[in-house]
Amino acid sequence: MVFAVVIIGQLLAFVLTLAPLSLDQQRWNDLALISLFIQWNGLLCSSVLCLLRPTLKKYSNQFAAASSYLTLLLVLTLCSELSFYIMEYYQMTEIITAASHWEFLLHNLLIGGIISALALRYFYIQYQWRVKMQAETCTKLQLLQARIRPHFLFNSMNTIASLTRTNPEVAERITEDLAELFRTLFRDDQQMIPWASELQLSERYIDIEKQRLGERLEIIWQIDAIPVDAMVPSLLLQPLLENAIFHGIEPEINGGTIKVIGAMNNNQLTITLQNTNSKNLVHRQGNKMALANIRERLSSHFPGNAAIECREQDDVYYVKLTLPYISQQIDEER
């Protein structure tokens, strides 16, 4: 926003410099003085509006817009008065003699009033566009997340159904854990959750699957390098674990191993999940919905700054997630 104000102000300075038909040397020398005056006004007006924002946000858009515009005119008036007295004190006769006190003030107010109105309108339209994009992104993320939750639920219920016949007590405990897990999951309205919460959800899912697969499922966690306050999209890791179990561990008689490795370098998080891949070619074929879903959600949350890569090497399937590190405190401030 500050950068936009500076650019708009400098463009206005060039316009005022180029406006006269005669481009004499003196006019070009005045460019620095004009730029200084405009940038001074622009940054001061921005600072005042920033200070008034907590107060103005309590009122309607119409009242806030009118108040902001009047505030800008008041700041312009004070800056013009101060500038005139500074020029008079330093005896800048070539500027003072060109216009009287009131002409100088009126000239600045007319130009400043027009530019202020256009600038406020521009920033309001930009704000409306940003709100619309955020709403569309939020709706898209909710739809994407809604497609994942049923898979999680159905697989968990199948696990519980199989345990009711073999170990009812464990099935009851797992049902309670699943209920608590979903209560936490649906209570959280945020699209981003701390890594600690995502990890806890994934660990509960693994515990549920271990009740069904037993020693056939082995998981190794190497994630100490990831800060617990790192914000990640919800249901980021669990669908990958579910994919690894369904396509790589479950079809094999002897099961397999899943390894989750986390790293952070230059404020960039890297989460690598690797699992022994099944030799059953038919069972390994899937619709790639989970991977495509996560790819779309990463793109929505971190446009151009996150990626998901998949590859297979020596009967081991690798999924690598890369995303920026955003702490919980910074996310709350946003």
User: Do you know the residue count of the chain?
Assistant: 334
Task: Pick the more confident residue, 239 or 93.
Answer: 239
Provide the b/e sequence for 122-135 (b: ≥16 CB within 10 Å): ebeeeeeeeeeeee
pLDDT bucket at 322, cuts 50 / 70 / 90? very high
pTM above 0.85, yes or no: no
Residues 118 and 93: their CA atoms lie apart, in Å, by 33
Going from the N-terminus, what domains does the chain have, and what CATH number goes with each?
2-98 (no CATH), 136-333 (3.30.565.10)
Where are the extended beta strands (E) located within 144-284? 192-194, 217-222, 231-233, 256-265, 268-276
Condensed to tens digits (0 to 9), the pLDDT of residues 124-134 reads: 888 888 777 76
pLDDT score of 11 more than 90: no
156-167 pLDDT, tens digit each: 787 788 778 777
pLDDT, average across residues 33-54? 87
Per-residue confidence band for 236, with pLDDT thresholds at 50, 70 and 90:
confident
For residue 260, the SS3 value is: strand
C-alpha–C-alpha distance, residues 262 and 6, integer Å: 42
**Coil, helix or strand at residue 309:** strand
Each residue's pLDDT tens digit, 287-317: 466 787 788 778 878 888 888 998 888 888 8
